[in-house]
Structure 1
Amino acid sequence: MHKLKFILKTILGMDYKTMLAKARVVHERTRKLTLFILIDMIFCGIRYGAGYMDYTVLEFYRLNKAQRDTYMTRGRSNQLVRALNNRAYWHFFEDKTEFLTRFSAYLNRAWINLKTADEQAFEAFCEGRERMMVKPVDGDGGKGVERILLADYPDKKALYRKLMDNNQTLCEEYVVQHPALSAIYPDSVNTLRIVSVVREDGGVDITRCLIRIGAGGVVDNISRGGMAALIDSKTGEIVKPAHDKNGNTHYVHPITGAPIVGAVIPMFDEVLKMVTRAAKEVPQVRYCAWDVAVCESGPVFIEGNQYPGHEIQQLPPHNENHTGIWPIYKQYLGINP
């Protein structure tokens, strides 16, 4: 029933203009007929719960039926989140200020919410700082995230009003990442995306580990021009190349020339311990993706996600033998392999 509702909702709410545009992108990559691609997209939506973004980003057009069935699609991701994450507790993750409050022990940085702070409090927060990060309290995908150099704004009251007008009401102390990660790309904080599931027995499984890397901007989100590479969850070594939203694969950073594959994440054991501990803080939300910055003093959380992205966990160059991650996750739903 849920699958049927998802299909009907998707059909009614589909952006057919974007779907056609994605079909044309696939046509350029494969030279297959656009009409054939559109028909195949619809088939994958019905059979696997895959949206046109799944079809394009996960390169379903290169996969056979058996391979496609191993991928966690948008529909299957919804199924997993619905089963493991109690919606009544999503607010701890959806509202960034609630996350920062609930997980304050894992932050090691100051922050201020302009929705509850006046101009004088904001001026006091800026005092002695060279830069800070600002963002909406309820944004995602890196939307509205900006690095502010405070020397560019001598009038802090004017900056306060600008941020309020832009809905960039969450201001955070700038996180200085570990030199080993700056060596890959220095202009963004290159965060780790660690995905966890709390089992029914209370234990925690780490199911996927990635690093997101900036590539020309100050954020590392793939949707904002960044890229993601796969990390070995036991050793902390980057074992698969970075992949961006345009389908490009990078073994070395395209701007800095620094090696990506083979780099080792510093203090990775501490990262996993922190995530394992934090995953139990809100036990009603069992399936989470944690964005972690690694500093010289240790790992800290940037944010948590109660609706983990499924595409970033199975980008094409990260999957052995064109096998997706659905076999990993369906066990938590009681579905036999």
Structure 2
Amino acid sequence: MLRNLRRKIYKKIRFKSWYRKAYYYHRKEHEMDEIIAKYKTPEEMQDKKYMRKLRRDMIRSLFKYGSYYSEYFLFGYEGKDAEYRNSFITEGIRLSYYPRMNQRKNTDLLENKYRTYKKFQDMYKREIIRVKKNEEPTEENLKKLEEFAERHKTYVVKPVYAAFGNSVRTETLSMYESVEEAHKRYRKYGAVIEELIEQGEEMARIHAGSVNTLRIPTAIIKDENGDPKIQLFHPSLRMGRGDSFVDNFSAGGVSALIDPETGVIYTDGADKKGHSFECHPDSGIRFKGFQIPQWDEAVAMVKEAAMMIPDNHYCGWDLAYSAQHGWCMVEANCTAQMGAMQMVTKEGRKAELEALIAQM
């Protein structure tokens, strides 16, 4: 009963900026110096006067602008004026935009990875099954999992609700002593189990170890006649590094921005540690000038998907390039992060987003 009450309260306040700021401050209270150390030299860390001033400014920026501590460095806040700092859509304020753009029923739909799959099944172009939380290990349920694993020896396991690439992994049924043991693991929290995407050669060139994805945000606005029109909002390519299967920017990946008209990357790459790259650190492929294959098909897919939920005015669509099927949907993000589109070029997008909202 208490858990259900907490869940109800959380759903009501999760989009409130005051909650996001206060919760982050409380959660990271004892981690501030650890975060600073990722961006500052040991010599700077030893300067007590400088560190006191820096901590105060970071906390002030959190409560005034909503910038989480890593964003303070990634957006280049140090030494910048209020106008510059206020131009960014920070993590502390980001969620407050979504109730202004999207209806709650669609948020519930798109945050559940299996419900999203059922809605856009034709665009996924691969097989996906679900093991429900606390699902009974019936003969039918065990057979479904076993037959899926026979068709797809290696598969992807995702939590039903997850973000930032958390807990996404590849598995095989042979990792478990029995299908019953695997089912027991998956039903503990619930899982979406997906056929592995075999990445097309054109996208594997940039990093073969991860399935590199497009993040294409769409905004449904009104044209001069009042009819719906879809505008892309700073699409990007996200790539993994090293032996990481996950390409997610929040999980150590690299991101670069794509020209929405041509599908050509026009920036260097950047990661969440503040590093910038002219070329991918593993493959050596140069970012600027890289042409995304079949860009028009990718854009057509996200525009079609966006119109399938027309009262959901903003969504971030993740697409992967399959060797067999071309572009296919990976997932939809109704509360998509906006950090990468600002960190790569150190440009705030708040005014642009407000202008779009005014046209919704």
**Paired residues of 2:246 and 2:253 also in contact (CA < 8 A):** yes
Residue equivalent to 2:240: 214
**Is this contact kept in 1: 2:218–2:306, CA < 8 A?**
yes
Give structure 1 stretches of 5+ with no counterpart: none
User: Given the alignment, which residue of 227, 237, 241 partners 2:254?
Assistant: 227
CA distance in 2, matches of 1:225, 1:8: 27
Q: Matches of 1:168 and 1:260 in 2, distance apart?
A: 38
Change (3 A) 1:221 1:13: closer
1:129 shift after superposition: 2.2
Q: How is 1:25-104 mapped onto 2 (pairs within 5 angstroms)?
A: 25-28=38-41, 31=44, 33-61=50-78, 63-104=80-121
Amino acid of the structure 2 residue aligned with 1:326: K
Structure 2 distance, partners of 1:112, 1:308, is 24
**Aligned equivalent of 2:331:** 303
Other structure's SS at 1:71 match: coil
The C-alpha deviation readout for 1:246-293, integer Å capped at 9, x for no partner, is 111122222222333322110111111111111121223211111111
| Counterparts of 1:60 and 1:29, CA distance in 2 | 20
**Residue matched to 2:3:** none
Shift of 1:237: 1.1
Mean CA deviation greater in 211-220 or 52-61 = 52-61
**Quick one: distance in 1 between partners of 2:43 and 2:271?**
19
Match of 1:197 in 2: 219
> Are 2:119 and 1:108 equivalent residues in the alignment?
no
Q: How does 1:1-337 map to 2 (within 5 A)?
A: 6-7=17-18, 10-11=21-22, 14=25, 15-28=28-41, 31=44, 33-61=50-78, 63-115=80-132, 118-149=141-172, 155-165=178-188, 167=189, 169-200=191-222, 201-216=227-242, 217-296=244-323, 297-315=325-343, 318-319=344-345, 322-334=346-358
C-alpha separation between the residues in 2 aligned to 1:49 and 1:29?
A: 27
Distance 1:155 1:231 in 2: 45
Tell me, yes or no, if the aligned pair for 2:20 and 2:93 is still in contact at 8 Å: no
Q: Which secondary structure state, in structure 2, belongs to the residue aligned with residue 109 of structure 1?
A: coil
**Alignment size in residue pairs:** 327
* Residue range with higher mean Cα deviation, 238-247 or 268-277: 238-247
Find the aligned partners of 1:11 and 1:293 in 2 and give their Cα distance: 36
**Distance apart, 1:155 and its partner CA:** 4.1
**CA offsets 1:60-106 (integer angstroms, 9 cap, x no match):** 22533332232112344233212111223211111100000011121
Contact 2:21–2:63 (CA<8 Å) still a contact in 1? no
Secondary structure at 1:329 match in 2: helix
Would you say the 8 A contact 2:157–2:171 is kept in 1? yes
The one-letter code of the counterpart of 2:331 is: E
User: What displacement does 1:303 show?
Assistant: 0.5
Is contact 2:20–2:92 with CA below 8 Å preserved after alignment? Answer: no
Deviates more, 1:206-215 or 1:60-69: 60-69
TM-score for the superposition, normalised by structure 1: 0.88
Alignment CA distance shift 1:286-1:19 (3 Å): farther
Q: Which amino acid aligns with 1:50?
A: S
Shift of 1:127: 1.7
Q: Percent identity?
A: 26
What do you get for the CA RMSD once the two structures are aligned? Answer: 2.5
Give how far 1:204 is off. 0.9
Displacement of 1:34 in angstroms is 1.5
> Closer, same or farther in 2 for the Cα pair 1:12/1:236, shift >3 Å?
closer
Distance 2:265 2:42 in 1: 28
- Structure 1 Cα separation of the partners of residues 43 and 169 of structure 2: 37
Q: Where does structure 2 lack aligned partners over 5 or more consecutive residues?
A: 1-12
String of CA shifts for 1:301-326, please: whole Å, max 9, x gaps: 110111110212211xx32xx43211
| Conserved? CA contact 1:22–1:56, under 8 Å | no
Question: What is the CA–CA distance in structure 1 between the aligned matches of 2:19 and 2:181, rounded to whole Å?
Answer: 48
TM-score, reference length from structure 2: 0.83
2:7 counterpart residue number: none
Inter-CA distance 287–120: structure 2 relative to 1 (3 Å threshold): same
CA contact (8 A) 1:198 1:283 kept: yes
Stretch of structure 1 that moved more, 137-146 or 25-34: 25-34
Instruction: Give the match's secondary structure for 1:17.
Output: coil
SS of the residue 1:119 aligns to = helix
CA distance in structure 2 between the partners assigned to 1:212 and 1:12 by the alignment? 28
Separation of aligned partners in 2, 1:12 and 1:163: 30
The answer (yes or no) to whether the contact 2:39–2:274 under 8 Å persists in 1 is no
